[in-house]
Structure 1
Amino acid sequence: MLRRLVLFLSLCAGPAMAACDGTDLVAALPAAERAALRAEAATHPHSEGLLWRAEKDGRMIHLVGTMHVPDPRHAATLDRIRPVLDAAEHVFLEFGEGDEARLQRMVAEQPELAFITEGPTLPDLLGKADWDRLRAALSERGVPGFLAAKMKPWMAMANLAVTACDLQDLKAGRRGLDGMVIEDAAEMGKAAEALEPLDTALSLFAAFSQAEQLDMLRLGLAQQAQDSADQAVTLAEAYFREEIQLIWEFSMRQMAAHPDAAPEDLKSQIDRFEQVFVTARNAAWIDRILSVDGPTLVAVGAMHLPGESGLLRQLEDAGYTVTRLPLAQ
């Protein structure tokens, strides 16, 4: 479950490359089921759209929903928002320029942030069958068994979420839309400002106990091999159709159908995850965005835009007029 939620909330979908062939699972649904998903998505505020403008008293804020992994189609989006970036006095992202490297150094200097440094490690915590599957899956991603054994469960899940296509792109130095925005901003001499402290991504998982993380890891192991390519293609295609809320609705449909998902626990787990990873962060980000003046560009994971607790609705609550803009010029 955590793998799917991490993927859908951050829109970590793989690029459309030959080695990443898969099926768009939404497009493959029977027409009636697809229509029902779209109807449910449409009940949420700002359910579709990647590029938006918010205005109030002469101040203008542009927001673009990003996907954190590479795709050739990002180039057109970047071309579309480049004039906005050029005019911006503030550029906000989840990570600022250089933050990813600083985060890697932080983990290297403080391994307890992401690794088990005392007590039982994953081979003991998972049991032989699940550990063997995890070790094999992470080995395919270039993670040696001795390192995988010491990962905290959430860290192992994050590595499982990396597809073979993602690894190809990372090795080639390609970046997602947010990384491309950071690079363009640097070329323009603009600072890419982080919306939250550097260690937020690490501290979020502290809200979940080790037992909860292990349960999520087992669910991720149960389904990661059989549909990862399909999941990547499905997410990417929905993203570029700008059907953002639909991604959430589709993920809920899949999780409810999972054989290990207990219906009585599913809603509370989803609500908790959404509160920690989306709602609370959005509230903190709005305070940061509204703390400055002047034209602003906000580039964050697309799932942070729609919904009652989304950034767009929060801007409306703050008195801004919100307008969807076309990506095609």
Structure 2
Amino acid sequence: MSRLAAVTLALVLSFLHALPALALCGGRNLFEEMDPAKLASIRDAAEAVPFPKGNFWQAVRGDEVITIAGTYHFDDPRHQANLDKLQLFIADATTVLVESGPEEEKALMDLVAREPARMFITTGPTLFEQLPAEVWAQLSDAMSKRGIPGFMAAKFRPWYVLAVLAIPPCAMEQMSDPKGLDGMVIDAALAAGTPVRALEPYDTIFTLFDSMTDEEILAMLQSTLALEDRSEDHAVTLADSYFAGRSREIWEFMRQISYDLPGYTRAQVDAEFARMEELLMNARNRAWIPVLTQAAKEGPVVAAFGALHLSGEQGVLNLLRQQGFSLTELQF
């Protein structure tokens, strides 16, 4: 994976895996100041794939019913109104499916406790020694702004640094009890006595990054730092797009940014994005379909997972349609 992959990774991570809380930051929505022609191009590209809009759907095949909520993993007060609507379905569900449930979170913590080398550099050169001096200076400054001193950051695995950089400095103080809509759904299900199950194994995050070399991830880290000065703007743009039901536009927005990177052709950018979509979304979507359909045979299901998994040819909604489900958009 090339350096250009990092342009999308931080934003994608916020949809694809439970990261710590994001409070409302003081950034600007970049769509509001964008050239109208470029914005139209982004929206046209988003509209070109199946199911580009909407966060709340119901899939029905005979007696099988799956109510689907595309989620945003960061905290935001706007989640509460959506949860109020979802609770009506959670109360009647036989199962609630999420990316990672309480058992999986505990298993992940236990794994890290047993094998700290999954997240930390325990042998060999630290990031301070691996990175060029100017890149390390940028990284150390970025991590310090998030309350993590350089001597600690130097021992983080590069993928873990990428996950931390996905959180703008303005949100770090609100990390003590992260929820996001996923966590709120889990709490509501437990309160209602509805079983919560995971869509995928607890160690999926490691599987994703194990498919990349250290050199690739380090290169991604360097490129991610190039976006640091607008991290709050990106966070606000991402959140606003999600609550407008337009998460696919964020994917196309980052593609547009990548087109402007020096040294890359549009064909190279598109090839890289196809690879990332396969790795981070499509392969997981395909693996989730049997889990979703088997659960639906046992009774009504509520499924809550990152909103970027909904759209696209290999998105969950289109894959369910190919399995014979009829899809109806509901309103949050």
Which TM-score bucket, shorter chain as reference? over 0.9
**Aligned twin of 2:12:** 8
Work out the CA distance in 2 between the residues paired with 1:34 and 1:158.
Answer: 28
- Does structure 1 conserve the Cα–Cα contact (< 8 Å) formed by 2:94 and 2:195? no
The correspondence for 1:247, drawn from 245, 250, 254, is 250
**Aligned twin of 2:317:** 312
Give secondary structure in 2 for the equivalent of 1:63. Answer: strand
For these two proteins, the number of residue pairs brought into alignment is: 323
**Aligned twin of 1:223:** 227
Matches within 5 A, 1:160-199: 160-171=165-176, 173-199=177-203
**Aligned twin of 1:290:** 293
Tell me the alpha carbon deviations over residues 279-327 of structure 1, each in whole angstroms, 9 at most, x when there is no partner: 1100111111112221001100000001000000000010000111111
Greater mean alpha carbon deviation, residues 112-121 or residues 285-294: 112-121
**Aligned twin of 2:104:** 99
The correspondence for 1:127, drawn from 113, 132, 155, is 132
Match for 1:237: what amino acid? Answer: D
**Aligned twin of 2:260:** 257
Tell me the alpha carbon deviations over residues 91-114 of structure 1, each in whole angstroms, 9 at most, x when there is no partner: 110111243344233212201212
- Does structure 2 conserve the Cα–Cα contact (< 8 Å) formed by 1:94 and 1:196? yes
- Does structure 1 conserve the Cα–Cα contact (< 8 Å) formed by 2:310 and 2:317? yes
Greater mean alpha carbon deviation, residues 236-245 or residues 46-55: 236-245
Give secondary structure in 2 for the equivalent of 1:22. Answer: coil
Matched, 1:202 2:206: yes
Describe the shift of the 1:14–1:261 C-alpha distance in structure 2 as closer, same or farther (beyond 3 A): farther
Q: How big is the shift at 1:16?
A: 6.2
TM-score with structure 1 setting the length: 0.92
TM-score with structure 2 setting the length: 0.91
Describe the shift of the 1:70–1:99 C-alpha distance in structure 2 as closer, same or farther (beyond 3 A): same
**Aligned twin of 1:65:** 70
Q: How big is the shift at 1:270?
A: 2.1
Give secondary structure in 2 for the equivalent of 1:64. Answer: strand
Work out the CA distance in 2 between the residues paired with 1:228 and 1:98.
Answer: 32
Work out the CA distance in 2 between the residues paired with 1:262 and 1:222.
Answer: 19
Greater mean alpha carbon deviation, residues 161-170 or residues 51-60: 161-170
The correspondence for 2:39, drawn from 34, 37, 58, is 34
The correspondence for 1:117, drawn from 94, 116, 122, is 122
Q: How big is the shift at 1:13?
A: 10
- Does structure 2 conserve the Cα–Cα contact (< 8 Å) formed by 1:78 and 1:180? yes
Describe the shift of the 1:146–1:160 C-alpha distance in structure 2 as closer, same or farther (beyond 3 A): same
Describe the shift of the 1:142–1:263 C-alpha distance in structure 2 as closer, same or farther (beyond 3 A): same
- Does structure 1 conserve the Cα–Cα contact (< 8 Å) formed by 2:21 and 2:73? no
Work out the CA distance in 2 between the residues paired with 1:214 and 1:286.
Answer: 33
Q: Extract unaligned runs of 5+ from structure 1.
A: none
Matched, 1:79 2:62: no
Q: How big is the shift at 1:234?
A: 0.4
